[in-house]
Amino acid sequence: MASLHPKRIGLALSGGIARAPTHIGVLTALERAGIPVDYVAGVSAGSILGAAFCAGLNLAEVRAIALQIGWGRVARPVWSRDGFVSFDKLEKFLIGLVGDLTFADLKIPFVVQATDLETGEPHVFCEGRVAPAVVASCAVPGFVVPVTINGRRYGDGGVSNNLPVRAVRAMGAEYVIGVDLFRPSMLGFG
C-alpha cells in the first residue's frame, strides 16, 4: 500500500509469541487512524505476523493466524544435538497461508531479522524465500533446531536484537513505530 504522506513509516515487530496479538492491536489502530505502513521488519513472532500482513492478508486473517499458532501446529519433537524441536511444520503452515513467496513478491516491503549463530550478530533477510527466513527468526537456540540458509546457521532474532528498529530504518523509514512485546518504553525521537 503506497502512502500519500510525505514521511515514510516503518513498523518494527518484536518477538514474543505469547503476546503476539498485541501486534494485531497496533496494526488495527494504525488502520483505523488511516496511517499507512510503508515498511515492516519482524523478529520471531513479529516475523510471522509481519509476513502475513505484508503478503496482503487482511487484519482479520492476520488475527486468526495469531490465535491459531500453537506448538502442535508449528513444531514437532526431534532427537538432535541442536535442539528438541523442529519448526519444519511452521514453514509448511506459513506456505499454506500465504504461498511460497519471496520477499520481492510481498505487497509491503518486509525484512526478517534472525541471529547468525556463528557470530551472534543480527542478520537481516531481505531477499529469497520468506518462509525459511521466518522459521530461522523463530528458532530459539538450544531448544529449536537452527535453520541453515546459504550454508549459515540461524536462530531466533530476539537473541541478538528483539526489536528490529535499525533494520526498518535501513529500508527507508523516516518514522518507526516499534512494538516491543517485552519492555514497554518510549524511545527518543530522531
pLDDT per residue as tens digits for the range 121-155: 999 999 999 999 999 999 999 999 999 999 999 99
Would you state the pLDDT for residue 170? Answer: 98
44 is annotated as an active-site residue: yes
| CATH architecture of residue range(s) 9-179 | 3-Layer(aba) Sandwich (3.40)
The answer on pLDDT for 4 being more than 60 is: no
Would you state the pLDDT for residue 2? Answer: 53
Q: What does the pLDDT look like over 30-54, one tens digit per residue?
A: 999 999 999 999 999 899 999 999 9
pTM of the shown model? 0.89
Catalytic residue among 14, 47, 156, 180: 156
- In angstroms and rounded to an integer, the radius of gyration of the C-alpha atoms of the chain is 15
Portion of the chain with pLDDT greater than 90, in percent: 74
Q: Quick one: pLDDT band at residue 18, thresholds 50, 70, 90?
A: low
Catalytic residue among 44, 47, 86, 137: 44
The answer on pLDDT for 190 being more than 70 is: no
100 is annotated as an active-site residue: no
The answer on pLDDT for 56 being more than 50 is: yes
How far apart, in Å, are the Cα atoms of 72 and each of 16, 41, 68, 76?
17, 26, 10, 7
